[in-house]
Structure 1
Amino acid sequence: MVKPCQSSFRRILVTRILLLFVPVLLLGEIVALNKARSSLLKTARQNLTESAISKGEKIANAIATLKTHLLTISQTTVVQSGSQTEVQQYLTQMAQQLPTHTECLQLINLQSREIIASSCGNKLIAELSLPLPSYGVDIQTILPPKAGTTGQINKHNQLKLVFSAPVYNRSGELVYALNLQSALYKQNTNQPGSLAGSTLVIAEDGTILAHPLAARVGNNIQKHPDAARLQSIVKNALAQPVTGITGQSSPINLSFREGEELVAGYTAIANPITQQQGQKWIILAVTTVDNALFGLEEIKLILIVLTVGLIGASLLASLYLAPYLASPVEELRDYALNLHSHHATQPVPHNFKIREFNQLAQAIDQMVERLKAWAEELEIAWKEAKTANHIKSQFLATTSHELRNPLNIIINCVRLVHDGLCDNREEELEFLKRADETAIHLLGIINELLDISKIEAGKLSVVTAPIDLRQILLEVINLQSVNVQHKGLQLKINLGNDSIPVKADAAKLKQVLINIIGNATKFTDEGSITIATAMQKNSDNKSQVVVKVTDTGLGIEPAQQHKLFRPFVMVDGSTTRKFEGTGLGLAISRNLIELMGGSITLESAGLNQGTTVKIALPIIDGTSLTDPTEEKAFQNLGVASGDEEVREINSCPIHREETLQNSNGINESQKAGLDEENYELPLVENNYELDLLPQPALPRLPSGEAYANRTTER
C-alpha cells in the first residue's frame, strides 16, 4: 500500500525537472535582462558622450564662423560709408545668408546709441559692452533676466550670444558697432531611441547657459536639485587640460524632475567669451533613462514569450521523459512484485533503451537466479534435514535394537550361571563364552559411535608409518577366513609376491579392511569374494595402489549409492534389518582412508549384481620397510602365497581350537592376550580399538569372529 507521503516516480520526474528548469530559466532571463539593461546604459552613455563632444564642436565652430562673418561684414565699404538705406538692405541680405542660428544684425551709432540699420526691428538686441576691442569681436550671453530687452523669450532657442564688432569709417575713426544675435542651440524634443540628448551648457562659474528646462537658464547650479552631482561633473571637467575636445560618460544619474532619471555624457570647451586660458564651458548631453533603455521593453516581451515557451516545452519534455524513464522501472517493479506468480521460463524484462536499466534488469535476473538456487538449496537442505531426522529415528531404533539384544544375551547368560541353572561346568563355560563374545560385539558398536563422534568433532587422528599393505591384507584375510568358510563362499586373491609399501596407520587401515571385507562377506549369500591389488597413476601422475574387493552379493541400486558413506545411513531398512549393523562402518572407513591420504569408492551395477569397493593409497619408497617374512596365514588356509587366481575356502582345513581353561572357565589365551597387551577398558582410556589376541592367534578363537564383525555393516 502506497503511503500518503510518497509520490510516484513519474510525478517526481515531472516536478523535479520543472523545479530545476524553471528557476534556472528565470534566473538566466533575469541575468540576461540585467545584462541587456547595463549594455544599453553603457551604450547610451557612450553615445551621449559622443553627442556632447559633437555639440561642443558645433558650438565652437559656430562661434568662430559667426565671428569671422561679423568681422567681414564690419569691414565692408557699405557698412563703413554707405547710406542708411544701403546699409539696411545689406544687413537684411546678409542676415538671410548667414547660418540659420543668426537671429539679428544691427548697426548702432556709438555716439548717439541709435540703430542705423537692423534686420529684426528697432529694439536693441543687447546693451553694448564698451569699450569694444579694436580689431576683435566682443561676445556676451543673453540670459533670461536680460531677455526683456530683446522681446519675448523663446523657450526653444537657447544659448543666445551677442557678437559686437567695431566699424571704422574711411578716416579710421570708430563710428559704429555691428551687433549680431545668435541662438546657438535649439532644444528639440528627443525622439524615442534617439541618443543625441538634450544640451546642458554650464559656465565655469556654475551659471547655466542652456538647459532642457528654460526656467533654469541663467541660474547657478547650486540652486539645482542635483547640485552636488552637477558640481562633481564640473569639477571633473575642469580638471582636464584643454588639449582638444574630449569627453567622458557619467555613471551618475541626474534628475531634473521628480521621479525622472537622466543619463549624461559631457565634455569641456574653451570659454568663447573671455578667451582666457583655463576657462571653460561644460557641455552635457542628457537624456532620460527610459529613452536610453528604449527597446528594453521589447526585449522583456521577447524574454517573457521565450520563458513561457520554454516552460511549456520543458513541461512537454518532462511529460515525455517521465514515462520514458518510468516505464522500465515500472516493468521491473511489476516483475518483482509478481515474481511468485511467474513461470520459471519467463525472463525479466530487458532490451530497454537506457543502458543502466538493462544493467539493473540483468542484476535482477542474476539475483532471481541466485534466489532460485538458494531456494533449491534450502529445499534440498530441508529435505535432507527431514531425511536426517528420519535417519536419526531409524538409527535410534536400530542402535537400540543392536544394543538391547547383546545386553539381553549377556544378562540372560550371566543370570543362568549366577542362579546355578546350568547342568554342568561345560554349560556354564558355554554361557560365559557367549556372554563374552556378545560383550565384545557390544563394545565394537560403542567404539563405532565414539569414532563417528570424533570424526564429526574433527578430533579423530591417525599415526602413519611405513607399512606393508600386502602383509596387512593377509592378516585381515586370515581374520575373515572363518566367516567366509561358514558361508561357503569362494575367496579369490591376487596380491602378487612383492611387498606394497604405503604410509598409513596399521591399526586404522586394518579396521577399514576388516569392515570392507566383512561387508562383502555379510551381504554375499553365494558366489565369491575377490581381493586384488593393482598399481595405477593418479591425477597428479603419482603412483598409487588400488585394493579392489569385489563380491557377487546383494548389490546396491545406483540411486542409493550416494548415501552409503553418510553416517547412520543404511540403504534399505527392510533389507538391512536382516543383518546386524548401525550404518557407521563405511562413514568411518572413508574418513580414516582420507586421513591417510587415500580415497575409497563403491560401485555396483544394481540389485543382486554384486559390489566393488576400491581403496587407493599412495605408494612410498620400499627401502624403509623391513624384509617381510613368509605369511603363515596361507598355511592355515591351505594355500601358498603367490598369484593364484582362486583360493577355495571350502577346501581349507578346520582350525584346531587350542584353549586353556582356568578355574573360572575363561579362555586362557584370551586372558593372556589382554594381560600381554596391557589393555584397559576402552571407555576409560578412549581407545576405540580392542585387540583381544595377537593378530596371528585371533583366527584360532571364536572370539576373533566377534572382533571381525565389529564394523561389518553397510
Structure 2
Amino acid sequence: MANPGQSSFRRILLSRLLLLSVPVLLTGVYVTYRKARSTLLETARHNLTESAEAKAENINQSIAALKVNLLTASESVVLQSQSTEAYQEFINRLAKQLPTKIDCIELSDIQTKKIVASTCGYQLPLSQSASSSWLAQEKSKLDLEPSQVYVTPVLPEKSPAAATDKVHQTKSNSQLTLLFSAPIYNNVGQLKYALSIQSNLLQHKKLESGSLVGYPVVISQDGTILAHPLQERIGRNIAQEADVARLESAVKNAIAGRQNFQHLFSFDKNGVEFIAGYTAIDSPVTSEDNQKWTILAVTSLDSALSGLKDIQQVLFILTCCLMIVSFLVTLYVARDIALPVEKLRDYAINESDLQSKDRIPQNFKIRELNELSKALDEMIERIKKGAEEVETAWKEAQEANKLKNEFLASTSHELRTPLNGIIGCIRLVKDGFCDDREEEIDFLQRADDAALHLLGIINDILDIAKMESGKLTVEIEPCDLRKVLDEVINLQEVPIQNKGIEFNIKDLHEVIPIYADPAKLKQVLINVVGNATKFTDSGSITINTRIEPIRDKNQENSSNLPIGIEHSSSCVIVTVRDTGIGIDPAQQSKLFRPFVMVDGTTTRKYGGTGLGLAISRNLMEMMNGTITLFSEGNGKGSIVEITLPIIDFRSESSDKIVSSQNSLDSIPSSVSNADNNGKRAKD
C-alpha cells in the first residue's frame, strides 16, 4: 500500500515530462510571436521610410512641373495682348492642360487688384496673396525678373476669403495647398498682371488595413504643420502637440539628413500608437531660403501589425495542437517507460516464493531495463543458490553438531578407557598386589601400551586441530616406498595374527622412489591397515602395489610439485583390500570428513575417534598424493587406494635428484623382508 504523499512512477513521469515540455513549448511560441512582431515592425518601418521618400520625391516633381508650366504660360503672347476674352480662353485651356490637381487659376491686375480672368467661379482674391507674397519682396529691387515663380503655402486660417461669407473652403481630402504666382509684363516691359495657380499637391486617401504606405504629413522647419489628414491641425505648430518631443526629434533628424522612423502616440488619435517614416526636402516657398520641409509617412501600429492577427491565430491553433500532441506523446512515452517498471514491480510483489519457476519479465524495448531485468534474474538465482547453500550449511551444521557430540562422547570413552587401564595397573604395582617382579612388569607393560594408545588419540586430535588451522606441515624428501611399507607391515603383523586373519602381501623386490614425508606416509599407511584390521573379524587383508602411467600430466598443482615429480610420467598405487564389515556406498563420501563416524554403535564396538581418514586425506594432499575408499556395501569389505607420483630419473634434473638416486640405490637389495612377509602369509 502506497504511503500518503507518494505517487506512481507513471504519474510522476507524466507530470515531469509535461512540466518540462509545456513551458518549453509556450516559450517557443512566445519567442516566435515576438520574432514575428519584430519582423513586421521592421518591415513597416522600412516601408514607411521608403514611402516618405517617395512622397517627398512626388512633391518635388509636382512643384517643378507646376513651375515650368506656370513660367511657360506667363511668357505666352496672349497674356501680353489687351483682349479680355483671350485671357479667359487661355486660362481655361491652361487649367485643362496642367497635370497636377488645380483648384483654380486667376489672372489679376496688379495695379487695380481686379480679377481679369479666373476659373474659380466666384470672387477669389488670389491677387492679394500674390501681391503679399512676392510683390512686396520685389519693391526693393530696381530690375524685376520676368522668369520667376513665387510659391506661397495657403493655410486655412490665412485663407483670403476667411472674413467674408463666401469663404473658400478646400475639400476635406485636399492637403498641402500651395499658391504659385508669376509676374506678367506687357509689350513695353511693364509689370501688368499676376498669374496665380492654387494647387493641392496631396490628396488624403483612406488607407486599406495592412497598408504600409501611410498617409502624408508635411512640417516646415519652424514646426508649422502644412499637411495633415485632420484639417483642424493644418497650420498648427508641433509645439502644441502632445508628442512635441518626438516630432521635434523627427524634424531635427530629417533636416540633418537622417532617414529613419519614429513612434508617435498622440499625433492623430490620442492614445493610439503610430509609426512614422520621415525624410526632408528643400522648402519650395520663395520667402524661405535654406529652409527644409519634413515629409512623414504615418500609419497606425495596428495597421502595421495587421498581419500579426493571422499569425496569432495560427500560433494559437498550432499551440493547442502541439499541446495535445505533446500530451499524447508524453502519455505514450510515459507508458513505454513505466510499463517495464510496473511489470518488474508486479513480479516482485506476486513472486514472493523463491522456489517459483517464473522468470523475470524481459525483452523490453529499453536496453537498460533489459540489463536490469537480467541482473535481477541473476541476483535471484544467486539468492536461491545462497538460500540452498545456507540451508545445506544449516543442515551440515546440525549434522556436524551431532557428529561433534558423538565425537566427544566416543573420544571421552576412548580417553577414559586407557586412562582407567593405566591408573589400575599403576595402582596394583604401587599397592604391592603383584606376586612377583614379572607380574609387575606385565602390569607396567599394559600401562605403557595404554599410555601409547592414549598418546595416539591425543596426537590425532592435535593433528586435526592443526589441519583445520592450516598449521599442519610435512617434510617432503626422496624415500623408498618399499621400506616404509615394510615398517608398517612389521608393526601390524602381530594384531593381524592375533585376530587370525589371513595377511597377503605382494613381494616387494624393487626400489620404488617417491617424494614424501616418511613419517607422515607411515602414519597414513598404519591408519589404513589398522582400520582394515580393526573392522575385519575374519577373512583376509591384502596389500599390493602397482605402477600406472599418469594420464593427465598438466595437473593443476603441477607447479607445486618438487623438482623431478613435475615431469613424472607414472605413479605408484598402494591397495589395501579387506573382507571386513564394509561401508554403505551412500556413507562413503563422509568418511574423509573430520569427526564423522558412520555408525555410533560401530564406533562403540570397535573404538576410534573418526579422525584417522580425515587426517590421512589431508596428509596425502600435502604430499601431492591421493587416498580413496570403495566398498560394495555392508559386509562386502572395502578397498583403500593410496596414489603417489614416482620420481622420474630419466628427466633432466638437478644434482639433488642425482644424490637422491644414489641414496635410494644404497638401500639393500636383499628381499629378506619380502621373504619374511611371504612366510607370514603362508603361516
Alpha-carbon shift at residue 383 of structure 1 (Å): 1.3
Distance in 1 (CA, whole Å) between partners of 2:362 and 2:219 is 83
Question: Could you say which residue in structure 1 is the equivalent of 2:334?
Answer: 322
- Give the 3 Å change call, closer, same or farther, for CA 155–413 of structure 1 in structure 2: same
Moved more, 476-485 or 90-99: 90-99
Alpha-carbon shift at residue 22 of structure 1 (Å): 0.9
- Give the 3 Å change call, closer, same or farther, for CA 319–342 of structure 1 in structure 2: farther
Q: Say whether the 8 Å CA contact 1:144–1:218 is kept in structure 2.
A: yes
Does 1:614 find its partner at 2:642?
Answer: yes
Question: Could you say which residue in structure 2 is the equivalent of 1:18?
Answer: 18
2:285 to 256, 270, 273: 273
Alpha-carbon shift at residue 324 of structure 1 (Å): 3.0
The letter for the 2-side match of 1:297 is: K
SS in 2 for 1:340: coil
Q: Say whether the 8 Å CA contact 1:474–1:631 is kept in structure 2.
A: no
Distance in 2 (CA, whole Å) between partners of 1:143 and 1:356 is 85
**Aligned ranges 1:36-185 → 2 under 5 Å:** 36-81=36-81, 83-99=83-99, 101-120=101-120, 121-125=122-126, 126-128=129-131, 129-130=134-135, 131=138, 133-149=145-161, 151-152=168-169, 154-185=171-202
Alpha-carbon shift at residue 185 of structure 1 (Å): 1.2
Does 1:593 find its partner at 2:620?
Answer: yes
Alpha-carbon shift at residue 342 of structure 1 (Å): 7.0
Question: Could you say which residue in structure 1 is the equivalent of 2:654?
Answer: none
Alpha-carbon shift at residue 251 of structure 1 (Å): 5.4
SS in 2 for 1:385: helix
**Aligned ranges 1:227-246 → 2 under 5 Å:** 227-240=244-257
Does 1:537 find its partner at 2:542?
Answer: no
The letter for the 1-side match of 2:26 is: L
**Aligned ranges 1:267-306 → 2 under 5 Å:** 267-274=279-286, 279-306=291-318
1:435 to 439, 444, 447: 447
The letter for the 2-side match of 1:162 is: L
SS in 2 for 1:193: coil
Q: Say whether the 8 Å CA contact 1:529–1:552 is kept in structure 2.
A: yes
Does 1:499 find its partner at 2:508?
Answer: no
- Give the 3 Å change call, closer, same or farther, for CA 239–467 of structure 1 in structure 2: same
**Aligned ranges 1:551-630 → 2 under 5 Å:** 551-553=577-579, 554-607=581-634, 608-617=636-645, 619=647, 621=649, 623-625=658-660, 626=663, 627-630=665-668
Q: Say whether the 8 Å CA contact 1:467–1:504 is kept in structure 2.
A: yes
Does 1:450 find its partner at 2:462?
Answer: yes
Count how many residue pairs are aligned between Structure 1 and Structure 2. Answer: 639
Question: Could you say which residue in structure 2 is the equivalent of 1:708?
Answer: none
Question: Could you say which residue in structure 1 is the equivalent of 2:259?
Answer: 248
Distance in 2 (CA, whole Å) between partners of 1:520 and 1:191 is 126
Distance in 2 (CA, whole Å) between partners of 1:390 and 1:192 is 106
Alpha-carbon shift at residue 52 of structure 1 (Å): 0.7
Q: Say whether the 8 Å CA contact 2:241–2:266 is kept in structure 1.
A: no
Question: Which digits, 9 at most, give the CA deviation of each residue in 1:662-690, with x for residues without a partner?
Answer: xxxxxxxxxxxxxxxxxxxxxxxxxxxxx
Distance in 2 (CA, whole Å) between partners of 1:279 and 1:271 is 5
Question: Which digits, 9 at most, give the CA deviation of each residue in 1:41-74, with x for residues without a partner?
Answer: 0010111011111111111111111112222222
Question: Which digits, 9 at most, give the CA deviation of each residue in 1:465-505, with x for residues without a partner?
Answer: 22222211221122122223223334444465332233322
SS in 1 for 2:605: coil
Distance in 1 (CA, whole Å) between partners of 2:542 and 2:76 is 165
Give the CA RMSD over aligned residues: 2.5
- Give the 3 Å change call, closer, same or farther, for CA 160–648 of structure 1 in structure 2: farther
Alpha-carbon shift at residue 598 of structure 1 (Å): 2.8
Question: Which digits, 9 at most, give the CA deviation of each residue in 1:530-585, with x for residues without a partner?
Answer: 23141532633632532322313333333322222211112233334332211111
**Aligned ranges 1:456-535 → 2 under 5 Å:** 456-494=468-506, 496-525=508-537, 526-535=539-548
Does 1:649 find its partner at 2:680?
Answer: yes
- Give the 3 Å change call, closer, same or farther, for CA 153–277 of structure 1 in structure 2: closer
The letter for the 1-side match of 2:387 is: A
SS in 2 for 1:578: helix
Q: Say whether the 8 Å CA contact 1:51–1:197 is kept in structure 2.
A: yes
SS in 2 for 1:639: helix
Q: Say whether the 8 Å CA contact 2:545–2:574 is kept in structure 1.
A: yes
Alpha-carbon shift at residue 360 of structure 1 (Å): 2.3
- Give the 3 Å change call, closer, same or farther, for CA 274–649 of structure 1 in structure 2: farther
Question: Could you say which residue in structure 1 is the equivalent of 2:206?
Answer: 189
Q: Say whether the 8 Å CA contact 1:202–1:208 is kept in structure 2.
A: yes
Moved more, 454-463 or 494-503: 494-503
Q: Say whether the 8 Å CA contact 1:548–1:613 is kept in structure 2.
A: yes
Question: Could you say which residue in structure 2 is the equivalent of 1:380?
Answer: 392
Distance in 1 (CA, whole Å) between partners of 2:331 and 2:667 is 97
Relative to the length of structure 2, the TM-score reads: 0.87
- Give the 3 Å change call, closer, same or farther, for CA 311–486 of structure 1 in structure 2: same
Alpha-carbon shift at residue 347 of structure 1 (Å): 1.5
Q: Say whether the 8 Å CA contact 1:488–1:650 is kept in structure 2.
A: no
**Aligned ranges 1:396-415 → 2 under 5 Å:** 396-415=408-427
Q: Say whether the 8 Å CA contact 2:243–2:266 is kept in structure 1.
A: yes
Question: Could you say which residue in structure 2 is the equivalent of 1:28?
Answer: 28
The letter for the 1-side match of 2:659 is: S
Q: Say whether the 8 Å CA contact 2:146–2:185 is kept in structure 1.
A: no
The letter for the 1-side match of 2:50 is: E
Distance in 2 (CA, whole Å) between partners of 1:615 and 1:74 is 148
Structure 1 runs (4+) greater than 6 angstroms displaced: none
Distance in 2 (CA, whole Å) between partners of 1:23 and 1:86 is 83
Alpha-carbon shift at residue 343 of structure 1 (Å): 5.6
Q: Say whether the 8 Å CA contact 2:125–2:160 is kept in structure 1.
A: no
Question: Could you say which residue in structure 2 is the equivalent of 1:698?
Answer: none
Q: Say whether the 8 Å CA contact 1:536–1:545 is kept in structure 2.
A: yes
Alpha-carbon shift at residue 205 of structure 1 (Å): 3.1
Question: Which digits, 9 at most, give the CA deviation of each residue in 1:205-255, with x for residues without a partner?
Answer: 333222344333223333332222223222322223xxxxxx733255554
Relative to the length of structure 1, the TM-score reads: 0.84
Structure 2: 5+ residue stretches without partners: 139-143, 162-166, 555-566, 650-656
Alpha-carbon shift at residue 133 of structure 1 (Å): 4.3
Q: Say whether the 8 Å CA contact 1:601–1:613 is kept in structure 2.
A: yes
1:206 to 223, 227, 238: 223
- Give the 3 Å change call, closer, same or farther, for CA 401–114 of structure 1 in structure 2: same
Question: Which digits, 9 at most, give the CA deviation of each residue in 1:441-466, with x for residues without a partner?
Answer: 01110111111111111222222222
Task: Give % identity.
Answer: 51
